[in-house]
Amino acid sequence: MAKVVVIKFNGGCKPYYFSAGGLKLAQGDGVIVETSRGLEYATVVCPEKEVDDRELVSPLKPVVRAATEKDEETVRRNAERRKEAMKICREKIEKHKLDMKLVYCEFSFDGGKLLFYFTSDNRVDFRDLVKDLAAVFHTRIELRQVGIRDEARLLGGIAPCGRECCCAGSMSDFKKVSIKMAKNQGLSLNPGKISGLCGRLMCCLAYENEYYAEAYKKMPKTGSTVGTPEGKGVVVSSNMLKMEVRVKIEKDGALVYRDFPVTALNFKKGGAESASDDESDKILQD
């Protein structure tokens, strides 16, 4: 086990491990670290943590220094310049009539590079755009094409649940999400109800999928016939948290609805999945 300091960049979610280098740091402190892009500013989220050596990339780089007031001012100045840089870049994109949507931009800590993120359905030849931007900002320009899920992560926003988008607030990496996860949880398969701000399936569908996948195997399918203590009936709905099933039973010419624990029912477990799963999954993910 190795002791590390955990940091995050630009308010992101992904944690990175560095050696404290003998510095006394506290949660929320700004620090300067060496990265592949040069010196960068980051924020301490955990000043000391023990991590398995297998999770580390050797050699472990040390924190260069704690951020000074001058460093903090540099970060604020770079943030203030971002709005103007976005405006100028949009004007240049319109001038060159490029099929691309500008999403976000950021200056490197030392101001030696300006990185623009954009989305596009097609491959974009932006060589002339880079020349124009370099002439305006007099620094190295880099344009990076990202996907629609990355756009949601960069911009952030409030999800249908009322909380910040998972990708922007708590997820370090994107997880694969499928329509089968929604089916396991008994959710509506209406794309508008199970899609996030990015238009893709909501990332949170994967959070409790392991439990629901196991519970789903133990439940009778909606519409199937089951045996109950009160006779045969048809499954109307299932509650996988309570492991209960609502059954419609015909009694004396009238329909009666009863809730039974799944252990009290007789039914054939398992069954073939819908042949349209893969097709529906593709429609929602594309």
Helix 69-96 with 127-137: angle, nearest 10 deg: 140
Residue 21's pLDDT is 79
Q: Give pLDDT, residue 280.
A: 44
Distance, in Å, from the CA atom of 35 to the CA atom of 66, rounded to the nearest integer, reads 15
Assess whether pLDDT exceeds 80 at residue 174.
Answer: yes
Q: What average pLDDT does this structure show over 157-176?
A: 87
DSSP designation for 56: S
Element (H, E) at 37: none
pLDDT value of position 270: 56
The Cα 217–Cα 206 span in angstroms is 17
Residue type, 278: D
Question: For position 131, what pLDDT does the model report?
Answer: 95
pTM: 0.76
Share of the chain above pLDDT 70, in %: 94
> pLDDT tens digit string along 7-28?
998 867 888 889 887 888 899 9
pLDDT in tens, 217-271: 899 988 999 999 999 999 999 999 999 999 999 888 889 999 999 999 998 875 4
For residue 285, pLDDT beyond 80: no
> Residue 278's pLDDT is what?
47
Q: Regarding beta strands 38-51 and 101-107, do their DSSP bridges make them parallel or antiparallel, or are they unpaired?
A: unpaired
At 107, which amino acid appears? F
In the chain, DSSP assigns E strands to 2-8, 16-18, 30-35, 38-51, 63-66, 101-107, 113-119, 140-145, 225-228, 231-239, 244-251, 254-261
Average model confidence (pLDDT) for the chain?
A: 87
Q: What pLDDT score does 37 carry? A: 80
Q: What is the 3-state secondary structure (H, E, C) of 178-218?
A: CHHHHHHCCCCCCHHHHECCCCCECHHHHCCHHHHHHHHHH
CA-based nearest residue to 104, from 152, 137, 71, 136: 152
More confident position, 183 or 57: 183
